Amino acid sequence: MTPPTKKWDAIVVGSGQGGTPLARKLARAGMQTALIEGEHVGGTCINEGCTPTKTMIADAKLAQWVREAPDRGIGVAGFSVDLAQIIARKNSVVTAFRTAGEKGLAATPNLTLIRGFGSFSGPKTLVVGEQEHRADLIFINAGCYPAIPPVPGIDTVPYLTSKTILDIPVIPAHLVVLGGGYIALEMGQLFKRLGSEVTLIERGKALLSREDEDIQQAMQQFLEEEGIRVYLDTQVRKVSSWHRDAPATDALMLDLDPGSGSLSASHLLVATGRAPRTAELHLERTGVEMDAHGFIKVDDQLQTNVPGIYALGDIKGGPAFTHISYNDYIIISRNLLDKANMSIKDRQVPYTVFTDPQLGRIGLTEKEALAQGLPIRTAILPMTHVARAIETGHTKGLMKAIVHTDTRQILGAAILGEEGGEVMTVLQMAMAGGITYDTIRDMVFAHPLYAESLNNLFLTLER
């Protein structure tokens, strides 16, 4: 016999970066709250996204330092990379973060964690296993999964995704990465530094399509200087496995666009974007509208077209970052519980690409500002002119800021350099507080910091 429907004040589907704090906040406010999670508490970021990748990237950076140490007079008598140990450290960090999340949920009164995948059975009901759950307030934080492009032959080869590569048992001899976005760049450089030969294949005309050309080119240049091969404007026409006697290093064969020939590879990583996990939710049973790509449509306060049903994080489309999902939680909870009137409209969307050096980004690019017809000036300072960078020997990249000619407000910035994300955040704070570029130009910063060179960045506008 089917058990009777359980009634809750609120149901949160998915324990991602927005769903988990939201469920806790609602429960602490006295609402009987169910958090439905089909896999691991903490979602993508903690289990297969930011946390594991940034942990492994830190180890790969260490390997690169050791590799480059002799150039700085530090002798290293050979070195090796123990992938198993790197993965074990990654797993221990992930487990620690996930366990902390689980403990936090267990310690929250009025909150029940329900393990299993939820799908809608009616306008305000979801089924998990045999049990139906009902609430007037439902929050969908079910995230995305790696999108696999329709490359002929792809289903016949054992391709890797950003999830499966995290536990790969061997360092690939030759890793071909499909894509030229965040995951491709971070993973490509990570495995190059661990010892793989790496080739990136991007179908667009540049890496990181959203960025300005000078940033794209500087990024490509330092990746190529490390020995990563980059194919732009290239499509894979077909991928196949060599016959079974081929050496493991050449297990795969990729036919490229006419003119680019073919490539052999030991491993293929698909990093061509992410798709929303809406199909398994059966949103048609609630009437919640999606866009043409399956992302949930929301208004500026994150409510869907069905009153009482909200979506937060990657599944609603737009910028897909942990801090955005978390900010979605802030907006929803403050509006519902504190009667605030917060909105996602015009919020800041900072991000950092964790290549080495990093790309820290905030606000408009130069091309976006020009497309909007804004009167702008652009300040550029190569990292070779940054005292701190010269001293530490990390002179790759550039600082760039876009300012409004009349108001002197900073409209956007790209800091491609060591700790670029941290330096970008200084400018983000200035933008949030309305601090103009001439104030930063003349401000006292501690010497010798990377951020100190923001003086010099804006001094370039004097010339």
Ligand X SMILES: NC(=O)c1ccc[n+]([C@@H]2O[C@H](COP(=O)([O-])OP(=O)(O)OC[C@H]3O[C@@H](n4cnc5c(N)ncnc54)[C@H](O)[C@@H]3O)[C@@H](O)[C@H]2O)c1
Known binding positions for FAD: 54, 118, 314
- Pick from 105, 271, 381, 424: which binds ligand X (CB under 6 A)? 271
From the list 122, 143, 123, the residue with the least C-alpha distance to 305 is 123
Cβ atoms of 241 and 266 within 8 Å: the answer is no
Question: Looking only at residues 342 through 381 of this chain, which bind ligand FAD when binding is defined by CB under 6 A?
Answer: 354
Closer CB to ligand X, residue 196 or residue 286? 196
Residue closer to ligand X, measured from CB, 27 or 254: 254
| Min separation Cβ 442 and ligand X, Å | 33
Min. distance of Cβ 165 from ligand X in angstroms? 12
Q: Taking a C-beta distance cutoff of 8 angstroms, is the pair 295, 276 a contact?
A: yes
- Quick check: 295 binds ligand X (CB under 6 A)? no
- 14, 179, 276, 357: residue in contact with ligand X (rule CB under 6 A): 179
Among 113, 176, 178, 223, binds ligand X (CB under 6 A): 178
- Rounded to 5 degrees, what are φ and ψ at 365? -80, 170
Instruction: Give least dist CB 410 to ligand FAD, A.
Output: 22
Which residue is closest to ligand X by CB? 181
The closest alpha carbon to 266, from 256, 281, 283, 252, belongs to 252
Contacted entry of ligand FAD, ligand X, none for residue 230, CB cut-off 5 to 8 Å set by kind: none
Please list every residue from 203 through 262 that binds ligand X, using CB under 6 A: 203-204, 209, 235
Active site residue 174: no
Query: Considering the complex, what minimum distance in angstroms separates the CB of residue 337 from ligand FAD?
Result: 19
**Which residues in 125-154 contact ligand X (CB under 6 A)?**
149, 151
Coil, strand or helix: which one is 256? strand
Is residue 13 involved in binding ligand FAD (CB under 6 A)? yes
Which one of ligand FAD, ligand X, none is in contact with 143 (Cβ closer than 5 to 8 A by kind)? ligand FAD
Give the active site residue among 243, 267, 404, 447.
447
Looking only at residues 20 through 39 of this chain, which bind ligand FAD when binding is defined by CB under 6 A? Answer: 36-39
Residue among 142 and 271 whose Cβ is closer to ligand X? 271
- The binder of ligand FAD chosen from 220, 325, 327, 365 (CB under 6 A): 325
Among ligand X, ligand FAD, none, the one that 139 touches (CB under a kind-dependent 5 to 8 A) is none
* Residue selected from 11, 25, 53, 362 as contacting ligand FAD according to rule CB under 6 A: 53
Q: Which is nearer to ligand FAD, 49 or 412 (CB)?
A: 49
Which two tokens mark 129?
Answer: 């296993």
362-393 burial, b for 16+ CB within 10 Å, e for fewer? bbbbbeebeeeebebbbbebbbebbebbeeee
| End-to-end CA separation in angstroms for the chain | 80
Q: Which of 118, 350, 363, 412 binds ligand FAD (CB under 6 A)?
A: 118
HSE-up (13 A, CA, CB side) for residue 186: 23
Q: Give whichever of 314 and 419 is closer to ligand FAD, judged by the CB atom.
A: 314
State phi, psi for 241 to the nearest 5 degrees.
-90, 140
For the packed helices 322-337 and 19-28, what is the interaxial angle rounded to 10 degrees?
20
The H or E element containing residue 311 is: strand 309-311
Torsion angle of C-alpha atoms 365, 366, 372, 375, degrees rounded to 10 = 130
Candidates 202-210, 243-251, 294-302, 328-336 — which segment interacts with ligand X by CB under 6 A?
202-210
Q: Show the site string, 255-284: x = touches ligand FAD by CB under 6 A, - = not.
A: ----------------------x--xx---
**E strand or H helix that includes residue 381:** strand 376-382
Residue 77 CB-half CA count within 13 A: 0
Sign of CA dihedral 275, 276, 282, 288: negative
Q: Which residues contact 202 (CB under 8 A, 6 or more apart)?
A: 179, 180, 184, 230, 231, 232, 233, 234
- Least gap, CB of 43 to ligand X (angstroms): 13
252-256 β-sheet, strand order: 236-241, 252-256, 262-265
50 binds ligand FAD (CB under 6 A): yes
Point out which residues bind ligand X (CB under 6 A). Answer: 149, 151, 178-184, 186, 201-204, 209, 235, 271-274, 320-321, 351-354
What are the catalytic residues?
447
